Amino acid sequence: GNSVTQMEGPVTLSEEAFLTINCTYTATGYPSLFWYVQYPGEGLQLLLKATKADDKGSNKGFEATYRKETTSFHLEKGSVQVSDSAVYFCALSVGGYQKVTFGTGTKLQVIP
Amino acid sequence: ETGVTQTPRHLVMGMTNKKSLKCEQHLGHNAMYWYKQSAKKPLELMFVYNFKEQTENNSVPSRFSPECPNSSHLFLHLHTLQPEDSALYLCASSQDTGSSYEQYFGPGTRLTVT
């Protein structure tokens, strides 16, 4: 089956620190990969995506590169802000619209 | 209205009550989803609909009854719930064709069962 593994949280960083949230996956077939973000009291929002190997998704200073050889899609940001505090979900889709698998989420807390 | 909307945003109900959650999407998508999000648990997919047809039911108890009258509206009818059903219920929509199927979520309904 398909699965997504994310690093356990919470992750606590000081403002302007470098962020990495690890995500690895297993999939039957060639998945598309996503990062979603959930701010407190809200639903999930698509942050970025990549649909083929070596693609880099980017948005709002966040980046993730689709690494087929290591089955990974790690999320990075060079300088985090307090407003980035949220829960981040890695996800994949393969084999159809109903076949989306989410990771368990990683809570990020950025302190001033 | 744009995107995916959900009402109500908060709901408190007793175990003998009957209530409904509503979701509406303004994105022209064909697929709609109900998820349950509980503290310290992975996101749980409950139901998937495509053009009003249910295509997935992930062993959800019958006290949860979905309804999809058209491709823009999705309901979740609730009756005789248990306290462990307290959670955030999220609705989402997506295209059903293409290559990547990114989902667009509503803000959720925070349900408390007393």
The answer, yes or no, to whether residue A107 has pLDDT greater than 90, is: yes
Contact A106, A20 (CB under 8 A): no
How far away is chain A from the Cα of B28, in angstroms, using its nearest Cα? 15
B43 at interface of A, judged by CB pairs closer than 8 A: yes
A96 at interface of B, judged by CB pairs closer than 8 A: yes
Q: How confident is the model at residue B54 (pLDDT cuts 50, 70, 90)?
A: confident
Q: Peptide bond before B42: cis, by omega within 30 degrees of 0?
A: no
Please choose, from the candidates A112, A106, A100, A103, the residue with its C-alpha nearest in 3D space to the C-alpha of residue A17: A112
Contacts of A42 in chain B (CB under 8 A): 107-108
- Phi and psi at residue B83, in whole multiples of 5°? -55, -30
Q: How confident is the model at residue B101 (pLDDT cuts 50, 70, 90)?
A: confident
Nearest neighbour of A51 by CB, restricted to B100, B104, B108? B100
Q: How confident is the model at residue B1 (pLDDT cuts 50, 70, 90)?
A: low
**Strand pairing partners for A50?**
A33
